[in-house]
Structure 1
Amino acid sequence: MTRRTLLLSMAALIVATGVGFGVGRMSGQPVGAASTPAPAEGRKVLYWYDPMVPAQRFNKPGKSPFMDMQLVPKYAGDTLGGAGVQIDPARVQSLGVRVATVERGALASGVTASGVIDFNERDVAIIQARAAGFVQRVYGRAPGDIVGAGAPLADVLVPEWAGAQGEFLAMRRVGDEALTRAARQRLQLLGMPPALVRAVERSGRVRNVVTIATPTGGVIKTLSVRNGMTVAAGQTLAEVNGLARVWLNAAVPEAMAGQVRSGETVTATLTAFPGQTFSGRVTAILPQAQADSRTLTARIELPNPAGRLRPGMYASVQFGGLQQPALLVPSEAVIRTGKRTLVMLARPGGRYEPAEVSVGREAGGRTEVLAGLSEGEKIVASGQFLLDSEASLSGVAARPLASGTLAAPAQSLFEGAGRVEQIKPDGVTISHGPIPAVPWPAMTMQFKLANPALAKGIRAGDRVTFTFEQRPAGPVVRRLAHSAAR
């Protein structure tokens, strides 16, 4: 009996195993495997995905290659037909979603750069010997000394002048006006200063020793005159650089060079004078970039009435004299993916839609929008990354850039009047008065010409009226004409 019972049990086990194998073959999956979720009746499956790796999509069901689990279907009903994703309003607060409004405002330049004080190379005086002679006396000057205008440097004996002055005095005693006039002209041609000629005429004595003095005040950069030396006509004796105005050479990063323009005002702070600010104006942006630091040099002119700004001092420069109207959004609302830039639009009914935008400058926590948005639209300023991930998972395409409107200034055209300083084929430099609508103070700046033909008949020095528009790359003149009072 025991043996018979054992044989019957083994036979039953074999039969059960065969039935299970047959069922498994018919169902197409191994025995004991979890069943793949069947698609819901009447709903279209867009794709299949692993909930743990939602970015990866599959075109058929099966087991996930990442996790030990079955793929889950994504249905067409889960998207909103291009209108974005919908979030339950009760969950918006828990997600930390914060909405901001696209608005128009003035965005100042946010460029900060470092710079070094330098001499003003436009304020240089060269002192030369007017005739050959001998140095009889020096006045104890040295390079680096700060002197005022008319400071004596050396007394030079000029033998050639003695004979010419004697002839001039002899002609005066004769009383011949024509000969006296010719002798006076000869003294001037020999290089005598008019003050020396008048002194000889007034005193009636020969003065062949001349005191060489500085024509302007400043610092002595070079001094090549010494006691007892012989000097030749035209020899450079000294070089004096004025200090009334100095240059501040600021190193602007190449990536921000487009935000700096000639003519705009800047503020500078120096470590030598904490708590004080110095105002200046950008007079030029040098044409060559520094290859080692990838910076451009902006030349700023600063007034230095007290002489406190010394060449070589370090300064921190803040650009921002020109505030331009722009369409602005919070910088934290911008999503940069590497290939494009997005924001999340907040729609009525708790719906959110990604939109592609083109952005420009950034300053003070706000970013300029060049295209892709319109004034008054609502965007997500916080929590937008979660919404963007959900939109990507749901297959919601971002609103293309062409669907947005191009950001235009609040006022398209501005008018001004001034004097033309320089004309180039593609631009013009104008010294204009205040333009309150921008707002700009009176200054000299460069404008691009919308059409080179606008400058036809205009020359440097002409008084003109002009109409221009503000663009991200700078102001562009649309109309240029002579003013009524030329």
Structure 2
Amino acid sequence: MTKKKKLILALSAAAILIAVGGGLFWAGMQHGLHAAMPTITGSGASTSGDKVDPATGRKVLYWHDPMVPGQKFDKPGKSPFMDMQLVPVYADESGDDGKVAISPRVQQNLGIRTAEVKEGSLTTTLESVGSVAWNERDLFLVQARANGYVERLHVRAPLDRVRKGQALADIYVPDWVAAQEDYLAARRMSADLADAARQRMRLAGMTGEQIRQIEKSGKVHPRLTITSPVSGVVAELAVREGMTVMPGASLYRINGLSTVWVNAEIPEAAAAQVHPGSTVQARAAAWPGMTFHGKVGAILPEIDPATRTLKARIELANPEGRLVPGMFATVSLTPAARKAILLVPSEAVIQTGTRSVVFVASEDGKFAPVEVETGSEANGQTEIHSGLSAGQKVVASGQFLVDSEASLKGVIARMGDAGAANGAKAAAAPAHHGRGRVEKIDPDSITLSHEAMPTLQWGPMTMPFKLPPDGLPRNIAVGNQVTFEIRQTPEGDYQITSITPADKQTGSGDGK
């Protein structure tokens, strides 16, 4: 064999070896990638129900990412959506018993925490502001009891402070002079005439004290000294020196200051928390560091249409008359004690818009959604009027995982009218738009190779979607480039809500 032939044979053998090695390398890479990346399956695709978890010996239905519960995978691996391992869903976790089970390891990793349902009452304090006003129940009027003339005023200006028994004015009363003279003359004549004359002095308007002064002194007192019936402030002065007064004429209006009113603004939403008799503490900027105590006297039956507030009339003790009308005061109202009621952490209550739901932890480690009727909320606690009993455990943190599992298994939908609940949730689900190629059309699903969808934080992938409620348009066929819109269903799957061709390749779909 010549050297030339030997060289050709050597080169041919090297080329064969390189081709075989490259093929083996490519096959190995493909096998490794296929093993590393789990296959995405749709809601209608078959799942690995015959898989058994070697760690627990339990049958595995499928694997999924708890953060994207609508996507199911037929083998374990790393989630394509999040930096975490896929979680198995076991056959005994199907939720047919109205409960959902979650692996203890997943519960620990995601920080699921429970809290006990306890009996108690919410102690809330309502803060409000108001203005100080006269206590109208401490109002006193000083009137003239007979015709006369004002000779002297001892208190001459409004808003002067007066003491109980302090002289206010001297009035000369001519009618009293004649009555007193008749009494003194009759007393010298006989007791019967004296009694009749004493009665005439009473009819003239003299008080019992004034009559006793006449009897004791035996002299005529033509002037009447009017005194203050209470300690307070002269709110109104209606008389001047030299004026003629008649019986019933108002001379002074005096308000006591031992107590005052504070008219506080109570929001309409908090009106049920305030009742007459509720204790109150008040503070005024004029007296820093001082606290005034009182109680709610009445809730005025009128709402301010501009501020939507009620007025609470609060009666405060006013030592030394420090609070005066017109001052502003900040009041703290403590509602009357209510009977004990069930309380749960407010974070445990999931508001769906139409109802309130909590997840109750059972002794077998599962979670069941329970619809509850809630009441007031304060200090991180919420009242429960129905649906729970004392001693039960409710999920207080990590509800998003339990809720996603329950939605995936249809547990939430089975709590009430499934159709109404599903319709409400579907209407509330946000829409996501994408672009891709039709790979396969099945009776109940369509498989698309779509581009990245930023609103869902999805990368490019091939996955099935549920068909639109009205079916596919006639011009959609395998191989078409399409633009589409999807929404998440209450079960966690994604459904096409609209799909249209993105190119002119519609001929293959005309006969569909």
TM-score (norm 2): 0.62
- Is the CA contact (8 Å cut-off) linking 1:285 and 1:297 kept in structure 2? yes
Q: Which secondary structure does the structure 1 equivalent of 2:404 belong to?
A: helix
What is residue 316 of structure 2 aligned with on the other side? 302
Provide, for residues 44-91 of structure 1, a one-character-per-residue CA deviation record: whole Å limited to 9, x for no partner: xxxxxxx999789xxxxxxxxxxxxxxxxx999763114332222112
Who is 1:361 aligned against?
Answer: 376
Q: Which amino acid aligns with 1:39?
A: S
Cα distance between partner residues in 1 of 2:95 and 2:376 = 34
Aligned counterparts of 1:53 and 1:94: Cα–Cα separation in 2 = 16
Change in Cα spacing, 1:38 to 1:333, as seen in structure 2 (3 Å) is: closer
1:295–1:399 distance in 2 versus 1, CA, 3 Å: farther
Report the CA distance shift for 1:351/1:249 in structure 2 as closer, same or farther (over 3 A): same
> SS state of the match for residue 313, structure 2?
strand
Q: Please say if residues 110 and 364 of structure 1, whose CA atoms lie closer than 8 Å, have aligned partners that are also in contact.
A: no
**Is the contact made by 2:95 and 2:410 (CA closer than 8 Å) also made in structure 1?**
no
2:392 is aligned with 1:390: no
Q: Deviations over 1:422-442 (max 9, x none)?
A: xxxxxxxxxxxxxxxxxxxxx
Report the counterpart of residue 161 of structure 2 in structure 1: 146
Aligned to 2:277: 263
Distance of aligned partners of 1:256 and 1:172 in 2 relative to their CA distance in 1, 3 Å threshold: same
Corresponding position: 1:330 with 2:349: no
Change (3 A) 1:120 1:319: same
RMSD: 3.1
Q: 2:275·2:335 contact (CA, 8 Å) conserved in 1?
A: no
Which of structures 1 and 2 has the bigger CA Rg?
A: 2
Per the alignment, residue 376 of structure 1 pairs with 391
Q: 2:299 aligns with which of 285, 306, 314?
A: 285
With over 3 angstroms needed to count, the CA separation of the structure-2 counterparts of 1:307 and 1:205, relative to structure 1, is same
Alignment correspondent of 1:475: none
C-alpha distance in structure 1 between counterparts of 2:152 and 2:396, whole Å: 77
Using the alignment, how far apart are the partners of 2:314 and 2:413 within structure 1?
A: 45
Aligned with 2:101 (options 86, 92, 97): 86
Letter in 1 for 2:241: N
Give secondary structure in 2 for the equivalent of 1:328: strand
* Greater fraction helix: 2
* 2:279 and 2:333 in contact (8 A); partners too: no
- Is the CA contact (8 Å cut-off) linking 1:144 and 1:220 kept in structure 2? yes
Residues 193 and 86 of structure 1, relative CA distance in 2, 3 Å threshold: same
| Uncovered stretches (5+) of structure 2, i.e. residues with no partner | 1-39, 51-65, 72-88, 417-512
Q: Is the 8 A contact 1:109 1:322 kept in 2?
A: no
Tell me how far apart the structure 2 counterparts of residues 306 and 388 of structure 1 sit (CA, whole Å): 61
The CA distance in 1 between the partners of 2:215 and 2:41, in whole Å, is 123
**Structure 1: segments with no counterpart, 5+ residues:** 1-33, 44-50, 57-73, 402-486
CA distance in 1, matches of 2:297, 2:331: 17
Q: Distance in 1 between matches of 2:413 and 2:164?
A: 70
Contact 1:343 1:379 in 2 (8 A): yes
* Counterpart selection for 2:286 from 247, 272, 275: 272
Which structure 2 residues correspond to residues 234-253 of structure 1 after superposition, within 5 A? 234-253=248-267
- Secondary structure class of the residue paired with 2:157: coil
Structure 1 residue 172 displacement after superposition: 1.3
Residue type matched to 1:252 in 2? I
Q: Following superposition of structure 1 onto structure 2, how do residues 132-143 of structure 1 map, counting pairs within 5 Å?
A: 132-143=147-158
Where 1:160 maps in the other structure, the secondary structure is helix
Give the whole-Å Cα distance in 1 for the aligned partners of 2:334 and 2:211: 53
Q: Where does residue 227 of structure 1 map in the other structure?
A: 241
- The question of 1:191 aligning with 2:198 is answered no
Separation in structure 1 between the aligned mates of residue 156 and residue 309 of structure 2, nearest angstrom = 39
Please say if residues 296 and 314 of structure 2, whose CA atoms lie closer than 8 Å, have aligned partners that are also in contact: yes
Using the alignment, how far apart are the partners of 1:229 and 1:207 within structure 2? 20
Alpha-carbon deviation of 1:222? Answer: 0.5
CA shift digits 1:444-466 (9 cap, x unpaired): xxxxxxxxxxxxxxxxxxxxxxx
Match of 1:352 in 2: 367
Q: Secondary structure at the match of 1:272?
A: coil
Over residues 461-481 of structure 1, what are the superposed CA-to-partner deviations in whole Å (9 max), with x where a residue is unaligned? xxxxxxxxxxxxxxxxxxxxx
Match of 1:341 in 2: 356
Q: Which amino acid aligns with 1:90?
A: R
Instruction: Give the 3-state SS of the residue equivalent to 1:292 in structure 2.
Output: coil
Quick one: percent identity of the two aligned structures? 49
Deviation at 1:336, TM superposition (A): 2.0
Alignment TM-score, normalising by the size of structure 1: 0.65
User: 3-state SS of the aligned residue for 1:381?
Assistant: strand
Which whole-Å CA distance do the structure 2 matches of 1:321 and 1:275 have between them? 26
Letter in 2 for 1:123: D
Q: Distance in 2 between matches of 1:262 and 1:158?
A: 47
Measure, in 1, the Cα distance between the counterparts of 2:282 and 2:108: 44
CA distance in 1, matches of 2:140, 2:41: 95
Q: Which residue of 1 aligns with 2:46?
A: 39
Match of 1:250, SS state, is strand
CA contact (8 A) 1:355 1:398 kept: no
The separation in 1 between residues aligned to 2:372 and 2:201, in whole angstroms, is 76
Extract structure 1 runs of 4+ deviating beyond 6 A: 34-37, 51-56, 74-78
Q: Structure 2 vs 1, CA of residues 35 and 177 (structure 1 numbering), >3 Å: closer, same or farther?
A: closer
Shift in CA distance, 131/195, structure 1 to aligned 2, threshold 3 Å = same
Aligned CA distance change for structure 1 residues 97 and 325 (closer, same or farther; 3 Å) = same
Of 127, 130, 145, the residue aligned with 2:142 is: 127
Q: Residue 243 of structure 2 aligns to which amino acid in structure 1?
A: M
